[in-house]
Amino acid sequence: MIISLVLVLSLFLGSSSSSKLENPGCRIIRDKYDRQDLASRNYVSDERKHWPNKEAMKAIESMSCVKWIPRTNQRNYVYISPKQSGCFANLGYDVRRGKHTLNLQMPHGRSTCMVLGIAMHEMLHILGVGHEQCRPDRDSYVKVHWRNMENDKYNNYFKSIGPKTQTRMPVCDPKKRMDFDRCWSGYRTNTFGFAYDYQSLMHYGLNDFTQTGYPTMSTKKPVPSGIKIGQRIGMTRLDVSKLNAAYKCQDKTDPPHPPHRKTTRKVYTYGPTSPRCWDEYPEWCEGHNGLCYIGYFYMKENCALTCEFCDN
């Protein structure tokens, strides 16, 4: 099933802004229409095939039932622009907003937002996906070190609450002196029962926005070797599952796009003591080998042989 979204995308990629991007980390635009809601109709494909926007859209489309379509004259749309400094987007879709902003600063010196993972991160914000470290259960997984953080970045770490949670906590106000561990963001977040994901594309790095050189977050649980917190390579399997659950693309326990029934695995054995390498969904993997790096984490888990991601 393809979700037909009211929100469509207008793309503008003109000349780059000359302002310096001091920190390429994401920020969310807050306005009077600010709600962490899902979009309800189709998005857009970049007709001029500007990279990385086209590839970011392709990745999201290929791993979900969300479809991006060109804007004609629709009132509600997403405006992708490189004109301002930084990487930022509105969070969620609201029919009263009209123009939804997604800014990806073009390369300037060593800084840029024109990175595939960053573009996907911002597009997921438009789809209503918040930051992983802002989940209602985040205090069980990370400790936020407010004193080490740049003062104007506090709101990127404010914790949300569940859809039906009742609270007497105040809404966090970054302009006031208050205990940010005892307030909430104003957003209500549905985790759909999925586990906290340290490697999520939507998770910040442990040192992002530091002003002291010390971490702005630390983990409370053991993190498996090889997990990079704050990666901007691509969506993890949990990222894909959450998006599909939100948009009712498939049953959340199923893989996002391959067939429900597994076909015979294609297996290659490197040697008597070497681990086997296989495709979980051989026919689907062979037909979608162009996603190997666009959907890196999902493809590594399910299409290791086709994508040549085997350890040896």
Q: Is residue 3 situated within a structural domain?
A: no
Asked whether residue 155 falls in the same domain as residue 235, the answer is yes
Q: What gap in Å lies between CA 245 and CA 194, rounded to an integer?
A: 10
User: For the segment 175-186, what is each residue's pLDDT rounded down to a tens digit?
Assistant: 998 999 999 999
Could you give the CA distance from residue 176 to residue 157 in angstroms, rounded to a whole number?
15
pLDDT of residue 275: 57
Query: Quick one: 78 and 144 in the same domain?
Result: no
Residue 260 is assigned to a ligand binding site:
no
Of 43 and 97, the structure prediction assigns the larger pLDDT to 97
Residue 96 has pLDDT above 60, yes or no: yes
In whole angstroms, give the CA distance from residue 243 to residue 238.
Answer: 9
Identify whether 135 is part of a domain.
yes
For residue 307, tell me if it sits in a domain.
Answer: no
Does residue 3 carry a pLDDT above 90? no
The rounded mean pLDDT for the chain is 77
Active site residues: 122
Distance separating alpha carbons of residues 275 and 292, to the nearest angstrom: 20
Check: CB of residue 100 under 8 Å from CB of residue 93. yes
CA angle at residue 80 from 98 to 135, to 5 degrees? 80
Structural domain span for residue 52: 8-126
How many angstroms separate the CA atoms of 306 and 240, rounded?
Answer: 20
Does any domain span residue 308?
no
pLDDT at 155: 92
CATH of the domain at 245: 3.40.390.10
More confident residue, 148 or 18: 148
- Within a domain: residue 181? yes
| Judgement on whether residues 101 and 116 belong to the same structural domain of the protein | yes
Q: How many domains does the chain have?
A: 3
Based on the domain organization, do 207 and 289 belong to the same domain?
no
Which one of 72, 105, 126 terminates a domain?
Answer: 126
| Same domain, residue pair 159 and 122 | no
pLDDT above 90 for 239: yes
Domain edge (last residue) among 110, 126, 142: 126
Does 100 belong to an annotated binding site?
no
User: Do 154 and 91 fall into the same domain?
Assistant: no
* Confidence label for 209 from pLDDT (cuts 50, 70 and 90): very high
Q: What percent of the chain has pLDDT over 90?
A: 37
Instruction: Check residue 51 and give its pLDDT.
Output: 63
User: Based on the domain organization, do 36 and 60 belong to the same domain?
Assistant: yes
Answer yes or no: is 310 within a domain: no
- Of the listed ranges 72-81, 259-268, 279-288, the one predicted with least confidence: 259-268
Taking CA atoms, 73 is separated from 6, 44, 66, 98, 101, in Å, by 12, 13, 20, 11, 17
Q: What is the pLDDT of residue 281?
A: 77
- Across the range 40-65, mean pLDDT stands at 64
- Is 288 known to sit in a ligand binding site? no
Quick check: is 58 in a domain? yes
Q: Tell me, rounded to whole angstroms, the distance of Cα 238 from its chain centroid.
A: 11
Q: What are phi and psi of 63, to 5 degrees?
A: -110, 10
**241 and 137 fall within a common domain:** yes
Q: Do 121 and 140 reside in the same domain of the chain? A: no
219 and 146 in one domain?
A: yes
